[in-house]
Amino acid sequence: MTIKILHLYPKNMNLYGDHGNVLAIRRRLEWRGIDVEVIHHDPGDELPEDIDIIFGGGGQDSGQTVVEDDLRIITPKLKELIENGTPALVICGLYQLFGNYFETVEGQKLEGTHILDINTIGGPVRLIGNVLIDTTEFGQVVGYENHSGLTYLGDGVKPLGTVITGDGNNGKDKTEGVRYKNCIGTYLHGPILPKNPKVTDFLISKAIENKTGEAPQLKELDDTIELRAHNVSSKRPR
């Protein structure tokens, strides 16, 4: 069995260590003896048919503009994958573009994929710092945010978690990120997955379940280093 990871726009959407999320998924699969293939998708590339996990990182507004046209082309396939339960993690810039739209602070409106029922508006100040959130499924999740977009959730989705420390989606309603089917959207860089192995294993478990038709019993790993990083990060001041 080979798990195929689709890495969207690694050249344009890869800020604040986001590539480390793909590395975390790859390593936790390899440590369990499972083969991995990472497929990089840049503007103009043909989207492969067989995808098990989707990942997309963050980028500047200019990076979002570069990928916007290509993202519109591949949206129908991405939407089909998400609706069919393909696990996905999208961060910051691609989190925004997986929504309905992103309106920059200058008033430029970037049309999103409408995969996630969220809307984002550029704010006057950046929301920067360490973040700690409480989630129902993964316990406490840590990360680092650096964004000026203010994201508001629609009726069709639920938040990833509730903010303990930090600003989250918009600095007002205490929500952070989004959950829809097996798709996770979040502002948490850092990267998020090495310090939150439960989230990584969620993506892996769903990918294997989709491929085999059975929920897997994942081999336990020694997460001493990962949990130490998590605990240190959770105690860092804002």
Question: With pLDDT > 90 as the criterion, what percentage of the chain qualifies?
Answer: 76
State the average pLDDT over residues 11-22: 82
Q: Can you give the pLDDT at residue 64? A: 61
When comparing pLDDT for 57 and 84, which is higher?
84
Residue 116, number of CB atoms within 10 A of its CB: 27
Please list the residues that pair with 21 across neighbouring strands: none
Q: Which CATH number fits the domain 2-234, given the four candidates 3.40.920.10, 3.40.50.880, 3.40.50.720, 3.30.70.1290?
A: 3.40.50.880
Please tell me the distance from the alpha carbon of residue 210 to that of residue 213, in angstroms, as a whole number.
5
Chain segment 200-226, per-residue pLDDT in tens: 999 999 999 999 999 999 999 999 999
Q: Residue 183 pLDDT > 90, yes or no?
A: yes
Q: Can you give the pLDDT at residue 89? A: 98
Chain segment 101-110, per-residue pLDDT in tens: 989 888 888 8
Q: Residue 142 pLDDT > 90, yes or no?
A: yes
Q: Residue 63 pLDDT > 70, yes or no?
A: no
What size, in residues, is the chain? 238
Compute the mean pLDDT over every residue in the chain, rounded to the nearest whole number.
92
173, amino acid identity: D
Q: Can you give the pLDDT at residue 107? A: 84
Please tell me the distance from the alpha carbon of residue 70 to that of residue 155, in angstroms, as a whole number.
27
Q: Residue 143 pLDDT > 80, yes or no?
A: yes
Contacts of 108 (CB under 8 A, 6+ apart): none
Please tell me the distance from the alpha carbon of residue 51 to that of residue 4, in angstroms, as a whole number.
5
For the chain, domain boundaries? 2-234
Q: What is the DSSP string of the chain?
A: -EEEEEEE-TTTS--TTTHHHHHHHHHHHHTTT-EEEEEEE-TTPPPPS--SEEEE----HHHHHHHHHHHHHHHHHHHHHHHTT--EEEETHHHHHTSSEEE-TTS-EEE--SSS-EEEEEEEEEEEEEEEEEETTTEEEEEEEEEEEEEEE-TT-B-SEEEEES-TTTSSS-EESEEETTEEEE--BS-TGGG-HHHHHHHHHHHHHHHHSS---PPP---HHHHHHHHHHHTS--
Helix axis angle for 197-212 and 19-30, nearest 10°, is 60
Active site residues: 92, 189
Return the minimum-mean-pLDDT range out of 41-50, 114-123, 216-225: 41-50
Please tell me the distance from the alpha carbon of residue 100 to that of residue 118, in angstroms, as a whole number.
6
User: Could you tell me if 119 and 100 are in contact, meaning their C-beta atoms sit under 8 angstroms apart?
Assistant: yes
